[in-house]
Amino acid sequence: MCKKQARKAKSYQLFSFLIKSPMATFHCLSSSYYHYKNCNTGFVDFRFKRSSFVVRCERASCCNQGSSCVERDEKRRLRILIAGGGIGGLVLALAAKHRGYDVKVFEKDLSAVRGEGRHRGPIQLLSSALAVLQVIDGNVAKQIMDAGCVTGDRINGVADGVSGKWFIKFNLLNHAMKRGLPVTSVICRMALQDILLNGVGLDIVRNKSKVVDFMQDSNKVTVILEDGQHYDGDVLVGADGIWSKVRSKLFGQEDAKYSDYTCYSGLANFVPHYVDSIGYRVFLGLNQYFVASDVGNGKMQWYAFHKEPPNNTDPPRGKKKRLLNLFGHWCKEVVELISETQEDMILRRDIYDRDMIYTWGIGRVTLLGDAAHPMQPNLGQGGCMAIEDCYQLILELDKVVKSGLDFQQSNEISTMLRRYEKKRMFRISTVHAASRMASKALTAYRPYMEFGSGSLSFMLSQYISSPKITKPSVLVVRAFLQIFMPQFMIWMMAGHGFW
Ligand SMILES: Cc1cc2nc3c(=O)[nH]c(=O)nc-3n(C[C@H](O)[C@H](O)[C@H](O)COP(=O)(O)OP(=O)(O)OC[C@H]3O[C@@H](n4cnc5c(N)ncnc54)[C@H](O)[C@@H]3O)c2cc1C
């Protein structure tokens, strides 16, 4: 068995151990178990249970025809409308489906989701996000982990872009194992979307369904699609990404913020000699940084960020040349990856985020994922946070269902949505701020003292062949990061306090 297979087998062993071991499972799921225990329903069978309320209005057509809502004998199911079938929308739909809720996902263009995937490359899923997926649907989580590549079992960290020397290293494996969590992995975004989509089912996800508006009153919320169809529900969740229509309808149109960085991404058919020891590495430089990650199957994914104004473009087949100009003097690990990548495997996009908002909804409507809190990708957290949002939201929805109140009459839905937002706010604001801070810190990274061309520079050059003296501030920052960063990474990967 080659080292790679052995590594994957190790991770599967850990995964199956988590699934099989009652202690580990209890540890891993203890908090969710607590929630369900409190709700008087067991973890294993909660997804097969249905709420027992009388249906007042089940079908959109019923309300659309203006008829009054009809009391039915069927069980009343919570009706969840989701705008957007990206990572967040699909994970929430999966959780809702397993609980027997009536869920509909409106996605404007499924092929665009995957096209977008091509642009964005693989996605890193930290232990916390993988653990949420396991709790929501063990089978889907297993498929995701099978299709992914474990990176958390090797050295990950930050290095100087020019010298290649490590600045700081993280140990993601020990902390995941200690907490009984799955190990951080990366997965092709398109594969992730496909697995989630299959899990949810095309009867729930409506393609070519662009949400253009919604209305709400005290009894229901109605979503309006571009083609004029409208659907009623008890809750509307805007999971429609950074350019969210639901968000702009709730809080008004506002421009997204340019991060000051354009991002080139590339996928190389290349196996570097360090692949068995290093998972991902961030290389720092002044006004530019470079992220490289093993993504399995003999491929390496990289992102090259460069500080410049938005909307710049490259001449045809000019991306690789430009990148070699920008990064050509960096360490060989960086230059090698760019050189090994075919021109047509390099893509470019400008990076945007938005300021944090501290209310994500009004009445029966809320937001999750990028619609609520788009963040810069330098910590690789946006998707993970969207997945965690889903879990918090579904836990709050469960409470309303268990309360036995009538979803149409009750203010409880609105109270529950605000509670979900409040519970997520601290973690999300911290990660959002950290992503912006990381971006600022990366911009200012200047590791060596500069002596210009004056007499000091001349004197130094007489005694030192290469007058590179590390700035004292860099040493202080490094010491700070060496203490703070591993703690922060542990906090991020350990999750929201679900376990
Ligand atoms: C370069 C880069 C690298 C990244 N790397 C990572 C990483 O390693 N790890 C990580 O966790 N995150 C990463 N992210 C962030 C991550 O991609 C996002 O945070 C994540 O995709 C958010 O998921 P979402 O479901 O909220 O939104 P999206 O994935 O944007 O999905 C929104 C969906 O809504 C649909 N939609 C939009 N408008 C409408 C409408 N009006 N009606 C119906 N449907 C609509 C869209 O078509 C789309 O399918 C990265 C981002 C970038 C840019």
Going by their DSSP bridges, the two strands 235-238 and 79-83 should be labelled as: parallel
- The residue contributing the CA closest to ligand 1 atom 17 is 383
Ligand 1 atom at minimum distance from 303 CA: 1
- Candidates 167, 49, 132, 78; CA nearest to 400 is 78
CA of 149 to the centre of ligand 1 (A): 20
**Which letter, b or e, does each residue of 84-114 get, where b requires 16 or more Cβ atoms within 10 Å of its Cβ?**
bbbbbbbbbbbbbbbbbbbbbbbbbebeebe
Radius of gyration of the chain (CA): 24
Q: Which of 108, 267, 282, 289 to mutate to test the pocket of ligand 1 (most atoms within 8 A of CB)?
A: 108
pLDDT number for residue 230: 96
Per the document, the length of the chain is: 499
The tokens for 387 are: 């997945």
CA of 379 to the centre of ligand 1 (A): 15
Residue 207: what residue type?
N
- The residue contributing the CA closest to ligand 1 atom 41 is 211
41 — phi, psi (to 5°)?
A: -135, 140
Ligand 1 atom at minimum distance from 225 CA: 42
- The residue contributing the CA closest to ligand 1 atom 27 is 241
The four Cα atoms 384, 387, 388, 389 give a dihedral, to 10 degrees, of 120
Ligand 1 atom at minimum distance from 370 CA: 26
Residue for token pair 């004056």: 454
CA of 136 to the centre of ligand 1 (A): 20
Ligand 1 atom at minimum distance from 122 CA: 8
- Candidates 97, 139, 171, 127; CA nearest to 28 is 127
- The residue contributing the CA closest to ligand 1 atom 7 is 380
Residue 193: what residue type?
Q
- Candidates 391, 87, 121, 392; CA nearest to 241 is 87
pLDDT number for residue 411: 87
DSSP string, 202-270: TTTEESS--EEEEEE-SS-EEEEETTS-EEEESEEEE---TT-HHHHHHH---PPEEEEEEEEEEEEE-
The tokens for 426 are: 């601290």
Ligand 1 atom at minimum distance from 383 CA: 11
The CA distance from 136 to 159, in Å, is 36
pLDDT number for residue 464: 52
The tokens for 215 are: 């209305």
pLDDT number for residue 96: 98
Ligand 1 atom at minimum distance from 372 CA: 26
- Candidates 281, 317, 268; CA nearest to 168 is 281
- Sorted by sequence, the CB contacts under 8 Å of residue 438 that are 6+ apart come out as 376, 378, 379
Answer for the pair 104, 82: CB distance below 8 angstroms, yes or no: yes
Ligand 1 atom at minimum distance from 109 CA: 47
Q: Which of 92, 106, 107, 367 to mutate to test the pocket of ligand 1 (most atoms within 8 A of CB)?
A: 107
CA of 383 to the centre of ligand 1 (A): 7
pLDDT number for residue 161: 93
Which residues approach ligand 1 with their CB closer than 6 A?
83-89, 106-109, 112-113, 120, 123-124, 210-211, 239-241, 245, 263, 303, 369-371, 377, 380-384, 386
pLDDT means over runs of 10, the chain (499 residues): 49 40 31 28 25 29 35 68 97 98 95 57 90 97 96 91 89 86 90 94 96 95 97 97 97 95 93 95 91 92 95 96 97 97 93 96 97 93 96 95 83 94 96 87 63 56 54 64 78 75
**Which letter, b or e, does each residue of 282-313 get, where b requires 16 or more Cβ atoms within 10 Å of its Cβ?**
bbbbebbbbbbbbbbeebbbbbbbbeeeeeee
The CA distance from 18 to 10, in Å, is 12
Domains, the chain = 50-148+188-253+357-445 (3.50.50.60), 152-184+257-353+452-499 (3.30.9.30)
CA of 166 to the centre of ligand 1 (A): 31
Helix (H) or strand (E) holding 403: helix 382-403
